A and B are shown apart, each in its own frame.
Chain A
Amino acid sequence: MSQKLLEVTNLSMHYDTLDGNVDAVKNVSFTVNSGESFGLVGESGCGKTSVAMTLLQLQPDNSVITEGSIKLEGKELIGLSENDLRKVRWDSISIVFQGAMNAWNPVIKIGEQIREAMREHYPQNSKQENINKINELFKMVGLDESISERFPHELSGGMKQRAVIALALSCDPKIIIADEPTTALDVVIQDQILNEIKKVQNLLGLSLIYISHDIAVIAEMTDKIAVMYAGSIVEIGPTQSVFESPKHSYTRALLDSTPSIRGEKKKLRSLDGEPPSLINEIQGCSFSPRCPSPSSGCKNQSVEMGLIQIGEEHFVDKCCSECV
């Protein structure tokens, strides 16, 4: 049914800092088909946002992409000139940022901030056409038309987040990256926003890359999921398969740390230790120091990291495929 829309292969990126290189993204590969939702899950600082920024080539100036490619409909994005990138941004890939509260410029009206993007990508549209489209989008995300004429500080957090979604949809992108879009919101609003995103995605047949530390949200939102740890993907596969039979011990630890409504009551487990510093080069499996059941090869860190297939489209890091 679906064709490959976005293809990321062997992407590695580090930040050049005074303390040394921070390897934020290591050898990450995944594909997103059209109409599919792809989830990226992992704890804070594991490189999720770095991946998202790299997809739009919006990474900070001190970052260096050492290898890999990002192909959008077969077109390579890495190395494109700023002008060519501008055409891709928002038109093909748009993003809903982590802090929607600060995503709006405080001194420009909401409507104008959306129209400005549309002017850039649809220069032929008249002002009225743009306004009509914005009103339509606002209706879709459950906002009143009058929001256009408001300044950001006049809106509540939830309204701002809805408006951000409308903004992300304004130029008919093929992929939306949602980078923890609900982190700053309370649970009720969070649920509404998630439903809104899902509804819009189905309605417009968009691809979605959903980034979150909340594995429960990811489970609800996505068809395919990748678990990231210390800059690498340790397990990737169809959401259902990953949830039903998690192979990597980190994935299992993540699942065990979340309460479930149904099923027997279990004590929630948390992992000891903390994620490794990405400045130092890690030998072997990056998760082994915290692994509850490391294998011998894992322990003396002789096994190189790398994914191997264990099920239909289900891949897991070599190290853990051995220990189970």
Chain B
Amino acid sequence: MLIYTVKRFFEMVIVFFLFLVISYLLFNAIPGNAFSSLLLNPLLPPEAYQKTIEAFGLDKPLYERVQLYIINFFKGDFGYSYTYYPRTPIDLIAERLPRTLMLFSIVNVIAFYTGFLVGKILAWRRGSKSETWITIGSVFSYTVFYPWFALMMLWFFGYKMDWFPLGKFLVPEKWYDSPYTSDEIFYTLILFVTVSSFLLFLVFIFTRNIESLQNRRNVRFLGLLSLFALAAMYWSNGEAALKRFYAADIAFHMILPTFTVTLVAFAGTALLTRTTMMEVLKDDYILTARAKGLSQKRIRDRHAARTALLPVVTSFIFTIITIIDGSVLTESIFSWPGMGQLILEAVVQEDIPLAMASFSFIGILALIAHFIADISYAFLDPRIRIKAEN
């Protein structure tokens, strides 16, 4: 097992090295460079362009630059962003990443939860009219051309109905005399969401051993109520009361993107759940559960859906890996200033240090995820373990 892990780790390092070199070469294959646009300005003397290029080392031959970049990379020096000079890529990523993670974590949790609920009910009502129509709707939303759909949502809810803002993170007019930066407010929001979901989780964990169903439902309801009370108390006292106004502005801007992505993302989960659950419903233990005289709801939720949950959880884990690269489209359409927009900007502007840093970040995430998956598979399945050791 240890040998396998070490072997896998070295493989990972080699793959990452190749990843770095190939990405760097690919970015250089784009015609021109980050400062080509300077040449378009007739008022700028050609020497200025030459000087800028030399300052950033873009005049050096390609192999030298690759070498330098990779050596610096492993020293932990990622250079400076060309477009956001003098900010460093790390600084920019640290600013943008929480925004993307916050938006898409919420989206994914909602999408998987509702998708699972809908899929479960679809399988249970197999053959009914509502099942047919909702399934057709889900297939539509699963296969729809996403950018078009997002634009339509933006047009309808943002422009036609004017219910939601047309993208962006906040309304600048409201923030002129703000004593806080948007990041400070955003971190408060993140903390709030994290703590409240953790408390919610605790409520469910601690009540799951209550024997009587009626009591369990009541206790959970009380728990939810007290959580709401706590949240209300938090936002109406002390510093949080001052932040409330600004936090609401950011939260308001999150609604439409969340809703749109959820609508698209939930369909896949719903269809997956529906298929798995229909398989499960044929199993003998469902008949046992019915023979035991359990209620329909309990058979559906406890016996059928519980088993159908496993593939859904697997797909959830793999979705988390693709959050960042998946965010490019959404963030461009909704002008959400997160990682997706940063990456797009960096590539379009040929901001190589920034683009490289962002892509390596995604690459490292993907590699680690696969590494963990491989190791845990080997751990769970003895057959893989033996094969791996030989």
Q: How far is the CA of A123 from the CA of B296 in the complex (A)?
A: 17
Closest Cβ–Cβ distance, residue B131 to chain A (whole Å) = 14
Chain B contacts with A in 223-253, Cβ cutoff 8 A: none
Closest Cβ–Cβ distance, residue B314 to chain A (whole Å) = 15
Residues 275-301 of B, flagged 1 when their CB comes within 8 A of A and 0 if not, give 000000001110111111111101000
Kindly list the 7 A-B residue pairs having the minimum CB-CB distance in the complex, ordered from nearest: A89-B293, A102-B284, A117-B292, A86-B293, A105-B285, A127-B211, A90-B293
Contact A102 B285 (CB under 8 A): yes
Closest Cβ–Cβ distance, residue B116 to chain A (whole Å) = 15
Closest Cβ–Cβ distance, residue A256 to chain B (whole Å) = 34
Contact B307 A119 (CB under 8 A): no
Q: How far is the CA of A121 from the CA of B291 in the complex (A)?
A: 12
B7 within 8 A of A: no
Q: How far is the CA of A99 from the CA of B298 in the complex (A)?
A: 22
Q: Mind listing 27 A-B residue pairs with CB under 8 Å? A: A58-B290, A58-B291, A87-B293, A88-B293, A89-B291, A89-B293, A95-B291, A97-B284, A97-B287, A97-B291, A102-B285, A103-B284, A105-B288, A105-B289, A105-B303, A106-B307, A107-B307, A108-B302, A117-B294, A119-B211, A119-B212, A120-B292, A121-B293, A123-B212, A126-B211, A127-B211, A167-B292
B380 within 8 A of A: no
Closest Cβ–Cβ distance, residue A278 to chain B (whole Å) = 22
Residues 69-90 of B, flagged 1 when their CB comes within 8 A of A and 0 if not, give 0000000000000000000000
Q: Cβ of B296: which chain A residues have Cβ within 8 Å of it? A: 82
B43 within 8 A of A: no
Closest Cβ–Cβ distance, residue B256 to chain A (whole Å) = 38
A317 within 8 A of B: no
Q: Cβ of B217: which chain A residues have Cβ within 8 Å of it? A: none
A56 within 8 A of B: yes
Contact B287 A116 (CB under 8 A): no
Residues 105-116 of A, flagged 1 when their CB comes within 8 A of B and 0 if not, give 111100000011
Q: How far is the CA of A99 from the CA of B283 in the complex (A)?
A: 11
Closest Cβ–Cβ distance, residue B99 to chain A (whole Å) = 37
Closest Cβ–Cβ distance, residue A88 to chain B (whole Å) = 7
Q: Name the interface size band of chain B.
A: 20 to 34
Residues 75-111 of A, flagged 1 when their CB comes within 8 A of B and 0 if not, give 0000000100111111100110101001111111000
Residues 15-27 of B, flagged 1 when their CB comes within 8 A of A and 0 if not, give 0000000000000
New contact pairs (20) apart from A94-B291, A103-B285, A121-B293, CB-CB < 8 Å: A58-B291, A82-B296, A86-B293, A95-B291, A99-B284, A102-B284, A103-B288, A105-B306, A106-B285, A107-B307, A108-B302, A116-B292, A116-B294, A116-B302, A117-B293, A120-B293, A120-B295, A123-B212, A126-B211, A130-B211
With contact pairs A105-B307, A119-B213 given, residues A89 and B290 touching in the complex (Cβ less than 8 Å) = yes
Q: How far is the CA of A114 from the CA of B292 in the complex (A)?
A: 9
Contact B306 A107 (CB under 8 A): yes
A177 and chain B: residue at smallest CB distance: B291
Chain B contacts with A in 312-352, Cβ cutoff 8 A: none
Q: Cβ of A97: which chain B residues have Cβ within 8 Å of it? A: 284, 287-288, 291
Q: Cβ of B307: which chain A residues have Cβ within 8 Å of it? A: 105-107
Q: Cβ of B293: which chain A residues have Cβ within 8 Å of it? A: 85-91, 117, 120-121
Q: Cβ of A102: which chain B residues have Cβ within 8 Å of it? A: 283-285
Q: How far is the CA of A58 from the CA of B289 in the complex (A)?
A: 11
Closest Cβ–Cβ distance, residue A20 to chain B (whole Å) = 21
Q: Cβ of A130: which chain B residues have Cβ within 8 Å of it? A: 211
Q: Cβ of A95: which chain B residues have Cβ within 8 Å of it? A: 291
Closest Cβ–Cβ distance, residue A163 to chain B (whole Å) = 12
Contact A120 B290 (CB under 8 A): no
Q: How far is the CA of A117 from the CA of B298 in the complex (A)?
A: 11
With contact pairs A56-B291, A95-B291, A120-B295 given, residues A104 and B213 touching in the complex (Cβ less than 8 Å) = no
Q: Cβ of A104: which chain B residues have Cβ within 8 Å of it? A: 285, 288
Closest Cβ–Cβ distance, residue B277 to chain A (whole Å) = 14
Q: Cβ of B295: which chain A residues have Cβ within 8 Å of it? A: 86, 120
Q: Cβ of B285: which chain A residues have Cβ within 8 Å of it? A: 102-106
Residues 145-159 of A, flagged 1 when their CB comes within 8 A of B and 0 if not, give 000000000000000
Contact B292 A90 (CB under 8 A): yes
Q: How far is the CA of A267 from the CA of B45 in the complex (A)?
A: 113
